[in-house]
Structure 1
Amino acid sequence: MADIGNEVSDAVEWYWETLSDQADDQRDSDNTARGRRAQVLGGAQMDGFAGLIEDALVEAGLPRDDVLHDHDATLPGYFRATKRWDIAVVHEGEVLAAIELKSIASSFGNNLNNRVEEAVGNNIDIHEAYENGVIEQPKPPWVGYLILMADNEDSSSSVRVREPNLDIDDEYRDASYIDRARLLCERLVRQGVVDSTAFLTSGEGEGLDGGYDEPNPDLSFQRFLDDLVAHVETQIDNKQTKLDVDD
């Protein structure tokens, strides 16, 4: 996309405006984001990112109707019957990608613990669904995870951890919640739980003007989007090549 930085800023701004009950003003403004974002999807906080991802996939040649959201993004699981993803990319009967878009703006300890459990459980579930033939197709779905965390004193200060029995991983000792979220994203990729992650932080003041940070360049939204688009393009090309050979 031509100017990914501004596009991400729009998504961050929409997130904070939605939280601060300014969504109606944004919806009617001249700065309303393009594509599916112009419809504001369901008006949810992370819909700016959902629309941005959809637009990038459509620009890469994917039919817009193949990018599913909300209830339409429900896929089968292995340890449970179904899981509703934030985005599911389904092209000609194959699941090309499944993506979760998450945020944390308060109660960082409890919310981050919940996000860790969700991220590990959901992504292992879809991998097992593929490995055990529930999602039956030649290649496994690309799995992505994006998290936006509010940057404030509570999230950026070091956190003491009780260690009543065994020592914790040194990387978590005195780490802030932002540090912990970054570690989550890094380790999800390192352990093969997901294919790519993006981690962004933003303070409310700067966020209302579209300001954000990416604490680890390897977890940038640009890299995340590039990985996703490359995977989808490859799968579409492979399907077309197979059709050409069969003909």
Structure 2
Amino acid sequence: MPLNLANYQKKAAESVKAFWGNRDASRKKQAEVGKADAGNRGAVTGGRNMDGFVALMIDLIEANDLKDATVIRGGRIPLTLPGYFRPTKMWDMLVLRKNHLVAAIELKSQVGAFGKNFNNRTEEAIGTAQDLWTAFREGSFGDAARPFVGWLMLVEDAPASRRPIRDRSEHFPVRPEFQGASYLERYNVLCKKLVQEQLYTTTAVLASPQTAVKTGKFSDVSDMTSLKAFVTSFAGHIASEAAR
């Protein structure tokens, strides 16, 4: 039976519109009540801006016949999983079935402040995955098959994210793939390596300009880290789980 990708292109465009729209709404709301945060922080403290992508993942689950799954997306049911190096970790979306973990997904974004936040996002992504897989190895999730673990990143498409960056490394040279790479390309390299090192099942990095609040426009950085690759991998995992 072929995979059903649930018309993901259209739904992703709607998710992008919602992302930028939610940011604008959060910023305006906080400004109106006199609690505007510095920089872009006000746009991310007022709500879950990536919820459109959560809805897309739910559509993929339903389209590929995993009818008895429990999808946890926030609200009253905690989004936490046990860790190994720390007690628990909050995820952006969990899929459970018959008391075992089917999928855990992180949905992140980066708007402006690229130099300040790229390393933070990198360290967070690596640490989160290492913690989960060590806990999995030690039996924290019971006797079950490996879950799908995904990491999807939406990055503002702007001159600052596409500009080549020079790094200083006083004692040893920076690896060739990072030399002169823009922040978008660095996220692309990161996503590829996260999969190559088996830290995540699939990763994706999407570029979208702020004007996409009206159009839903986004682009992939590479085929390997494209949204199509991500949703195809996720749908395949869901269909395999449904067939058990």
- TM-score category, normalised to shorter length: 0.7 to 0.9
How far apart are residue 23 of structure 1 and its match? 10
The code of the aligned residue for 1:144 comes to G
Match of 1:38 in 2: none
How far apart are residue 219 of structure 1 and its match? 1.5
User: Which residues of 2 match residues 4-83 of structure 1 at below 5 A?
Assistant: 4-21=8-25, 43-63=47-67, 66-70=70-74, 72-83=78-89
Q: Judge conservation of contact 2:6–2:59 (CA < 8 Å) in 1.
A: no
In 1: Cα distance, 2:90 partner to 2:64 partner: 25
Match of 1:223 in 2: 229
How far apart are residue 135 of structure 1 and its match? 1.4
Identity fraction in percent: 32
In 1: Cα distance, 2:238 partner to 2:143 partner: 14
**1:172 equivalent in alignment to 2:166:** no
User: What residue ranges of structure 1 are gaps of 5+ in the alignment?
Assistant: 25-41, 239-247
The code of the aligned residue for 1:84 comes to M
Q: Judge conservation of contact 1:58–1:64 (CA < 8 Å) in 2.
A: no
Q: Judge conservation of contact 1:146–1:197 (CA < 8 Å) in 2.
A: yes
Identify which of 199, 203, 207 aligns with 2:209: 203
How far apart are residue 5 of structure 1 and its match? 1.3
How far apart are residue 106 of structure 1 and its match? 1.3
How far apart are residue 22 of structure 1 and its match? 7.8
Instruction: Give deviations 1:132-176, integer Å, cap 9, x for gaps.
Output: 111112212111000000011111101111111110101111111
Match of 1:147 in 2: 153
Using structure 2 for the length normalisation, give the TM-score: 0.85
Q: CA separation of 1:110/1:22 partners in 2, compared to 1, >3 Å: closer, same or farther?
A: closer
Tell me the secondary structure at the aligned position of residue 216 of structure 1. Answer: coil
User: Which residues of 2 match residues 48-197 of structure 1 at below 5 A?
Assistant: 48-63=52-67, 66-70=70-74, 72-197=78-203
Using CA pairs under 8 Å that are at least 6 residues apart, name the structure with larger relative contact order, 1 or 2. 2
How far apart are residue 65 of structure 1 and its match? 6.1
In 2: Cα distance, 1:94 partner to 1:236 partner: 13
User: What residue ranges of structure 2 are gaps of 5+ in the alignment?
Assistant: 29-45
The code of the aligned residue for 1:214 comes to D
The runs of 4+ residues in structure 1 deviating greater than 3 Å are: none
How far apart are residue 115 of structure 1 and its match? 0.7
Match of 1:36 in 2: none
In 2: Cα distance, 1:64 partner to 1:138 partner: 17
Q: Judge conservation of contact 2:58–2:71 (CA < 8 Å) in 1.
A: yes
Q: Which deviates the most, 77-86 or 224-233? A: 224-233
In 2: Cα distance, 1:92 partner to 1:204 partner: 41
How far apart are residue 222 of structure 1 and its match? 2.0
Q: Please provide the CA RMSD for this pair.
A: 1.9
Using structure 1 for the length normalisation, give the TM-score: 0.84
Q: Judge conservation of contact 2:6–2:60 (CA < 8 Å) in 1.
A: no
The code of the aligned residue for 1:6 comes to K
